[in-house]
Chains A and B, each alone.
Chain A
Amino acid sequence: MAVIIILIILSILVAGSFLAGFIWAVRSGQFEDTDSPAVRILLDDKK
């Protein structure tokens, strides 16, 4: 059963990495413009 402690620590680390990801996303401005990326992805380059 003691393994659960390791598992909990691991799960918190995994969740923590997601939190770090979120903070990075906010910092890099991904929440500043939520409209244009949605459109941009549908526009393809004419080759």
Chain B
Amino acid sequence: MLTAPLSTLNAQPAEVPCAHCGDACTENSPHLEDKFFCCDGCKTVYQILAEKDLCTYYDLSDSPAGIKLKNRNFGEKFASLDNVDIAHKIIEYADAERVKVVLHLPAMHCASCIWLLENLYKLREGIVYSRVNFMRKEITLQFNPTQISLREVAELLTTLGYEPQINLDTATPKLADKQYKRLLYQLGVTGFCLGNIMLLAFPDYLAVTGVDFYAQEANRGFFIGLNLLLALPVFFYGALDYWVSAYKALRARTVNLDVPISLGIVSLFARSLYEMLFLNGTGYMDSLASLVFFLLIGKWFQQKTYAGLSFERDYKSYFPLAVLRKGKKEAENTEEEFVQVTDLKKGDIIFIRNQELIPTDGILQSEKAQIDYSFVTGEAIPVQKYAGEQVYAGGRQVGEGISIEVTKEVSQSYLTQLWNNEAFQTPNTLSPLERKVQLFSQGFLYVTFSIAFLAGLYWFFIDSSKVANVFTAVLVVACPCALSLAMPFALGNALRLLGREGFYLRNAEALLHLAEIDTLVFDKTGTIMKNDSETVAWVGESLTHQERAYIALLCRSSMHPLSRQIFDWLNPQTFQTELCLANFQEVVNRGLTGWVNGIKIQLGSSKLATKPLPEESAQDTAGKVFVFWQNSCRGYFRLESHYRDGFPQLLQDVKDNYEIAVVSGDNDAQRENLAQVLGKNVTLRFMQQPEDKLLYISALQQAGKHVLMLGDGLNDAGALKQANVGIALTEDTTQFSPACTAILHAPSFPRLGKYLQYSKKLVNVVYWSFLLSLLYNFIGLAWAVSGNLSPLFAAILMPISSASVVGFAVLMSEWVRE
């Protein structure tokens, strides 16, 4: 079949996967010998790789490695990198012969990618070295600027499908993950000390004190001294975070769980110190070290971060780094040059190309523009603007390039102002469970102190030599270390489980907030409605085979998304007629015109009509693509968006237990349709500006609701931040998502209801683990008040209680998952 002659419109055997990206090839796909490609981009990459003998790329992974290159338009996107000032914003190091740069490549996804990207030096002269950080999806490149420019590097990567993400955020220096590194140091140091302390305490465990050698004063002193020396880093460095946290809490006149823990550690240390220095005893340094070690492991376990994801993105990661300035309003004959968007001044004339983002507010200079504000407002259909009209930051120009006179600096623009709006920066609130823990810690502290005092008082009358002993023993044993381990382990484990499913939570506390949710607010466009997979319906007299072929031919010549959609819907693989298209013309905003077999065919908006349209189709022309046959209307394609897969299932899961609302930036054309699907008890709000969404959520919160917001775009950013839990839904986790509490990968969308249930069960697991650890505290207390707490007993009880609570929490968090 593959050897069949391949004229342009000839049918190809069905389901030939692209040799590069694995997509199905369409009939007019390019090919190289026996390899077929879905588009020219894929073919180009294959050719480049084949030429340099780098086709191992395709053998490294099971599924096709290549990145889809359909509908990609690079244009002059990276031209701004030729500007030295702009390039230096992202270059790490540069001298005459070497330039080092770190680029973020979100498209990186498999072993093949690593292989290819690290073999870049074979591909192009001038690239010296490249190294990938897969977790961060970053590449560190070193190249020779005399042979290749930064722009060329960026373009090479883009040609291969790994488009570097260069935006305003890239230029802002990032805080390195120092905290995590410090935790690793602390773990290492504490682990080292723990092992050695335990080893040195061994003679005591085995009660070999009677042995001559060990009984000798000098030798015993050596053991004790060494133990003390090893305990110091644990006490001062390993447990540092607990001191800081407890100190902060006490200064704020509150008590957190770290306060009783610190108290336990301090009394353990003080008592050991006393015993070692004055009583020639061994002390409890082993218990101290194992306690701190366990606590640190808990921290480490909870600190699972998703390096490839960002929960903090703001407008900076959305804006381009630079924009072409054509000139200034007053000053004449200024040169065209790229300037950083942050340097834009009032009066600058900037040029925005097709698909580029408008970085700041301005006045349109070009005749007209078609601006897609979908990301800012949620409105799906681009807005038409004419010369002299105001355009706002955040819009995306669709069509030819436009000129804009800047009226506001970037930091003053509508979008940036919106972002800096106070309401958008809500402080983090404590979840109810955290508040309970706080109250509990307070109570715990009082109870512990009372028991310690009462026990001390009792022993004062019985045997006064044991008072200090019992008092400190109570504080040591009551240290809620197992308690403080239960939560990090249960939640940390759950975080991992959910992450594996494509539900990425920002941190463990988010799970606690999730459990408290009682109201769900959904964004419509892009969230519960899919905007990319609109269904096409033909309205009018049914089309003949031939007519379909004609329309398909017309659509094929256009890159407009609607044309592609109609083309796909027509499924022209079934036509085999040889046709030829003449005088093809595409006019932005109007549509396509062409002659096939002498028949004039037009496809596009109602503006193409030369005669008045039939009445029923003339109303509400949005979302309709008209077809004209020799200037008379033949009918139209209606494009309908439909619900995201699994939405009914999700609705079924949540509608009984949660209040549901849907907010949308769109008009209420679909109100009835929505109401039918969602049922009566759902609040529907249309024409909602980003602020309206935010205000609606804060109104719900005022009424005592715990709100979850599920949204997808910048238009939901404020609402996502305001909500108790803001979840950004994304088709591709490497793509931009606004600041949020969690990122939900689209395929997991139907399971959201399950995740909500899971979070509730998880909170119960935490309670049960608390109870278990309290049980251990009581056992220990019984020994402590009776004055029988020996170092050996403490060294055994503490790790056992910690380990069993941790084991319980992890196993239960696994088990309650369905």
Provide the A1-20 mask, 1 if CB < 8 A to any CB of B, else 0.
Answer: 11011001001100110110
**Chain A, residue nearest B213 (CB):** A1
CB distance from B366 to the nearest CB of A (A): 46
Other-chain contact of B188, A23, A33, A46 (Cβ < 8 Å):
A23
Cross-chain contact A46 with B114 (CB below 8 angstroms): no
Cross-chain contact B219 with A39 (CB below 8 angstroms): no
- What are the residues of chain B within 8 A of A43 when measuring CB–CB? 60, 111, 114-115, 118
- What are the residues of chain B within 8 A of A8 when measuring CB–CB? 200, 226
How far apart sit A42 and B111, CA to CA, in the bound complex (Å)? 9
Other-chain contact of B134, A11, A27, A35 (Cβ < 8 Å):
A35
Cross-chain contact B134 with A39 (CB below 8 angstroms): yes
Q: Is B192 an interface residue (CB 8 A)?
A: yes
How far apart sit A35 and B308, CA to CA, in the bound complex (Å)? 12
Given contacts A19-B188, A23-B188, A33-B133, contact A40 B118 (CB under 8 A): yes
**Chain B, residue nearest A18 (CB):** B192
Q: Is B185 an interface residue (CB 8 A)?
A: yes
CB distance from B128 to the nearest CB of A (A): 16
Provide the B175-211 mask, 1 if CB < 8 A to any CB of A, else 0.
Answer: 0010011001100110010011001100000000000
Given contacts A22-B188, A46-B53, contact A15 B195 (CB under 8 A): yes
Chain B residues 102 to 145 lying within 8 A of chain A, measured CB to CB, are 111, 114-115, 118, 132-136
How far apart sit A1 and B134, CA to CA, in the bound complex (Å)? 53
- What are the residues of chain A within 8 A of B115 when measuring CB–CB? 43
How far apart sit A30 and B535, CA to CA, in the bound complex (Å)? 49
- What are the residues of chain B within 8 A of A5 when measuring CB–CB? 219, 222
Cross-chain contact A26 with B133 (CB below 8 angstroms): no
How far apart sit A34 and B115, CA to CA, in the bound complex (Å)? 16
How far apart sit A35 and B132, CA to CA, in the bound complex (Å)? 10
- What are the residues of chain B within 8 A of A12 when measuring CB–CB? 196, 226
Cross-chain contact A32 with B133 (CB below 8 angstroms): yes
Given contacts A1-B213, A43-B115, contact A36 B134 (CB under 8 A): yes
How far apart sit A4 and B199, CA to CA, in the bound complex (Å)? 12
Cross-chain contact B184 with A46 (CB below 8 angstroms): no
Cross-chain contact B135 with A40 (CB below 8 angstroms): no
**Chain B, residue nearest A36 (CB):** B134
- What are the residues of chain A within 8 A of B213 when measuring CB–CB? 1-2, 4
How far apart sit A8 and B201, CA to CA, in the bound complex (Å)? 12
How far apart sit A12 and B192, CA to CA, in the bound complex (Å)? 9
Given contacts A8-B226, A15-B195, A35-B135, contact A26 B181 (CB under 8 A): yes
Count CB-based A-B contacts (< 8 Å).
62
- What are the residues of chain A within 8 A of B180 when measuring CB–CB? 31
Other-chain contact of A33, B118, B134, B189, B219 (Cβ < 8 Å):
B134
Q: Is B147 an interface residue (CB 8 A)?
A: no
Cross-chain contact B135 with A46 (CB below 8 angstroms): no
Other-chain contact of A36, B133, B189, B222 (Cβ < 8 Å):
B133
**Chain B, residue nearest A1 (CB):** B213
Main secondary structure of the interface of B (DSSP, over half): helix
**Chain A, residue nearest B192 (CB):** A19
Cross-chain contact A39 with B111 (CB below 8 angstroms): yes
Cross-chain contact B114 with A36 (CB below 8 angstroms): yes
- What are the residues of chain B within 8 A of A46 when measuring CB–CB? 53, 56
Other-chain contact of A16, B60, B132, B133, B192 (Cβ < 8 Å):
B192
CB distance from B89 to the nearest CB of A (A): 23
How far apart sit A2 and B212, CA to CA, in the bound complex (Å)? 11
CB distance from A33 to the nearest CB of B (A): 4
How far apart sit A40 and B184, CA to CA, in the bound complex (Å)? 24
Other-chain contact of A23, B134, B185, B226 (Cβ < 8 Å):
B185
**Chain A, residue nearest B222 (CB):** A5
Cross-chain contact A26 with B185 (CB below 8 angstroms): yes
**Chain B, residue nearest A43 (CB):** B115
**Chain B, residue nearest A19 (CB):** B192
- What are the residues of chain A within 8 A of B133 when measuring CB–CB? 32-33, 36
Given contacts A8-B200, A43-B111, contact A36 B132 (CB under 8 A): yes
How far apart sit A23 and B133, CA to CA, in the bound complex (Å)? 20
- What are the residues of chain A within 8 A of B135 when measuring CB–CB? 32-36
- What are the residues of chain B within 8 A of A11 when measuring CB–CB? 196, 199
**Chain A, residue nearest B184 (CB):** A26
Provide the B37-57 mask, 1 if CB < 8 A to any CB of A, else 0.
Answer: 000000000000000010010
**Chain A, residue nearest B230 (CB):** A12
- What are the residues of chain B within 8 A of A32 when measuring CB–CB? 133, 135-136, 177, 307
CB distance from B191 to the nearest CB of A (A): 8
- What are the residues of chain A within 8 A of B136 when measuring CB–CB? 32-33
CB distance from B219 to the nearest CB of A (A): 7
Cross-chain contact A15 with B134 (CB below 8 angstroms): no
- What are the residues of chain B within 8 A of A23 when measuring CB–CB? 185, 188
How far apart sit A32 and B102, CA to CA, in the bound complex (Å)? 15
Q: Identify which of B60, B134, B222 gathers the most chain A CB atoms within 10 Å of its CB.
A: B134
**Chain B, residue nearest A44 (CB):** B56
- What are the residues of chain B within 8 A of A16 when measuring CB–CB? 192
**Chain A, residue nearest B182 (CB):** A26
CB distance from B176 to the nearest CB of A (A): 9
Given contacts A33-B134, A33-B136, A43-B115, contact A15 B192 (CB under 8 A): yes
**Chain A, residue nearest B53 (CB):** A46
How far apart sit A4 and B134, CA to CA, in the bound complex (Å)? 48
How far apart sit A46 and B55, CA to CA, in the bound complex (Å)? 10
How far apart sit A4 and B212, CA to CA, in the bound complex (Å)? 14
Other-chain contact of B196, A15, A27, A33, A40 (Cβ < 8 Å):
A15
Cross-chain contact B114 with A40 (CB below 8 angstroms): yes
- What are the residues of chain A within 8 A of B111 when measuring CB–CB? 39, 42-43
How far apart sit A39 and B41, CA to CA, in the bound complex (Å)? 27
CB distance from B140 to the nearest CB of A (A): 11
- What are the residues of chain A within 8 A of B200 when measuring CB–CB? 8
CB distance from B137 to the nearest CB of A (A): 10
How far apart sit A23 and B184, CA to CA, in the bound complex (Å)? 8
- What are the residues of chain B within 8 A of A27 when measuring CB–CB? 181
CB distance from A37 to the nearest CB of B (A): 9
How far apart sit A13 and B266, CA to CA, in the bound complex (Å)? 28
Cross-chain contact A19 with B189 (CB below 8 angstroms): yes
How far apart sit A8 and B192, CA to CA, in the bound complex (Å)? 14
How far apart sit A40 and B115, CA to CA, in the bound complex (Å)? 7
- What are the residues of chain A within 8 A of B195 when measuring CB–CB? 15
**Chain B, residue nearest A42 (CB):** B111
How far apart sit A26 and B181, CA to CA, in the bound complex (Å)? 7
How far apart sit A5 and B132, CA to CA, in the bound complex (Å)? 48
9 of the cross-chain contacts (CB-CB < 8 Å) are A5-B219, A5-B222, A8-B226, A15-B196, A18-B192, A32-B135, A35-B134, A40-B114, A46-B56
Nearest 5 Cβ contacts at the A-B interface: A36-B134, A1-B213, A35-B134, A33-B133, A19-B192
Q: Other CB < 8 Å A-B pairs besides A31-B181, A36-B114, 17 of them?
A: A8-B200, A8-B226, A11-B199, A12-B196, A15-B192, A15-B195, A19-B188, A27-B181, A32-B136, A32-B307, A33-B134, A33-B307, A36-B134, A39-B111, A42-B111, A43-B114, A43-B115
Residues of A bordering B, CB below 8 Å: 1-2, 4-5, 8, 11-12, 15-16, 18-19, 22-23, 26-27, 31-36, 39-40, 42-43, 46
